[in-house]
Amino acid sequence: MDKFVITGGTPLQGEIAISGSKNSALPALAGALLTDKPVTLKRIPRVRDIRTMQRLLVDIGAKVEAQGETFQLHTARIVCPEAPYELVKTMRASSLVLGPLVARSGRARVSLPGGCAIGSRPINLHIFGLEQLGASIHQSHGYIEAEAPDGLRGAVIDFDRITVTGTEDLMMAAVLAKGETILRNAAREPEVVDLAELLARMGAQIEGAGTSTIRIQGVELLGGAEHTIIPDRIEAGTFAIGAAITNGDLTITGCQPDHVGALVSKLQLAGVDVTQPGPNSLRVRGAGRLRSVDMTTEEYPGFATDLQAQYMALMTQAEGIAIITETIFENRFMHAQELVRMGANIRLDGKQAIVAGPRELTGAGVIASDLRASASLVLAALMARGETVIDRVYHIDRGYEKIEAKLARVGAKIRRVE
């Protein structure tokens, strides 16, 4: 298993480029199953979750040709409408094929995800939505089997809580359903909007993506399309916090600044200098001293849960007490104990982490427990005194493209050891 060895203390300086969004690319790849025509997707990040999705699509019957960041997908026929346990257990987003498979072939068999490091993460809302669209659902041997031999029919689906991949999955199911579907209390994340744009290019009729009510008029068939994935807002946010925590000066290029608005507001309140030199760039400069600022995770446009761990690392360096409240997942504080091993003062109380700072962090051996927890430890290590060894960095490889190479180019002392 690979490790990162990081020697802290060097401010990040220079320019760092953002890759395509993992969480946008995953549903887009699943969306290509909706047509028997070729779909070209550009700016796909080369990360492990994408390779997992690629394997899944090939097993289902897609031909996938990947050249750098451009993927060409062609699913002339669905050969096996199934997402097996081996893949779903390593990547929950595999359940994104459920909607497209039922819509295209009238049948899907998808493993139920088991437990997860950050919370229970069920897919009951995906299943509820498919039932509303007329699919019959059976559960056995750890699998969900959905059938709609005569096709899906439009319905009103009221989500009782906001779900990102649930919204995406049902949007993909509804585009080929007969009649109108209305998704209420839908997720408003930029990744949902990006998927709606791809589907529209394929011929789908979707209105309201990016708001809580999405209206879809089903069509009989979808065609091929070419689409470029949006920049990864979580990668951009991670590097912005990296600049702030190392007291550096980083220009983050190829990003969409309005997608990280909630983070930018918190950084500015904490005393970090954030400017927008161009429409697709952000400049983040550390200001020497940081102030503690409370933060609560929320659905978009609120503060992203996927940046909570990184923000906690930053608050260990801020003056005062920051209360961080996690409202999306019930167990997303695994990084806190590792940060404490490095010297942080963090107390956990249910949904809240109380961070008192500033505390000097010193390098230590730590273990990455999930993707964003790993990112938080990398950021803490970049500012800590001495050497930190982060074990299990395969978690970070799931969602950050060449993170050590990108960080090394802006001054980080980071190397991967096998």
- Which residue numbers are catalytic? 116
How many angstroms separate the first and last alpha carbons of the chain? 6
Query: In whole angstroms, how close is the CB of 296 to ligand EPZ at the nearest point?
Result: 14
Closer by beta carbon to ligand EPZ, 164 or else 322: 164
Residue of the chain from 305, 308, 374, 376 that contacts ligand EPZ (CB under 6 A): 305
Cα four-point dihedral sign 236, 312, 305, 299: negative
Burial 31-51 (b: 16+ CB within 10 A, else e): bbbbbebbbbbebbbebbbbe
CB of 372 to ligand EPZ, least distance (A): 5
What is the rounded CA–CA span in Å between residue 42 and residue 68? Answer: 9
Residue 19 binds ligand EPZ (CB under 6 A): no
* CA gap 89, 85 in Å, rounded: 6
* Cα gap 150→106, rounded to integer Å: 7
Q: How far apart are CA 118 and CA 331, in angstroms?
A: 5
User: How far, in Å, CA of 139 to CA of 260, rounded?
Assistant: 39
Query: Should residue 144 be labelled a site residue for ligand EPZ when binding is judged by CB under 6 A?
Result: no
Contact pick of 235, 306, 401, 404 for ligand EPZ (by CB under 6 A): 306
Cβ-based nearer residue to ligand EPZ, 138 or 161: 161
Segment 114-143, which members bind ligand EPZ (CB under 6 A)?
A: 119-126
* Strand duo 13-17 + 249-253: pairing: parallel
* Closest CB 224 distance from ligand EPZ, rounded Å: 24
At its nearest, how many Å lie between ligand EPZ and the CB of residue 154?
A: 20
Q: Is the Cβ of residue 292 or residue 305 nearer to ligand EPZ in the bound state?
A: 305
| Closer Cβ to ligand EPZ, 44 or 164, answer by number | 164
Size of residue set near ligand EPZ by CB under 6 A:
25
| Residue 354 identity | I
Binding of ligand EPZ at residue 335 (CB under 6 A)? no
Q: Report the residue number, 110 or 384, with the smaller CB distance to ligand EPZ.
A: 110
Q: Which of residues 23-62 bind ligand EPZ (CB under 6 A)?
A: 23, 26
Strand duo 295-296 + 345-349: pairing = unpaired
379-389 burial by CB neighbour count: b if 16+ within 10 A, else e? bbbbbbeeebe
Position among 104, 109, 259, 372 found at the interface with ligand EPZ (CB under 6 A) = 372
Q: At what angle do helices 98-105 and 164-174 cross, to 10 degrees?
A: 10
Among 37, 51, 92, 402, binds ligand EPZ (CB under 6 A): 92
> 50, 73, 290, 328: which one contacts ligand EPZ (CB under 6 A)?
328
Q: How far is the CB of 277 from ligand EPZ (least distance, A)?
A: 27
Which residues form the interface with ligand EPZ (CB under 6 A)?
A: 23, 26, 92-93, 119-126, 161, 163-166, 191, 305-306, 328-329, 371-372, 399
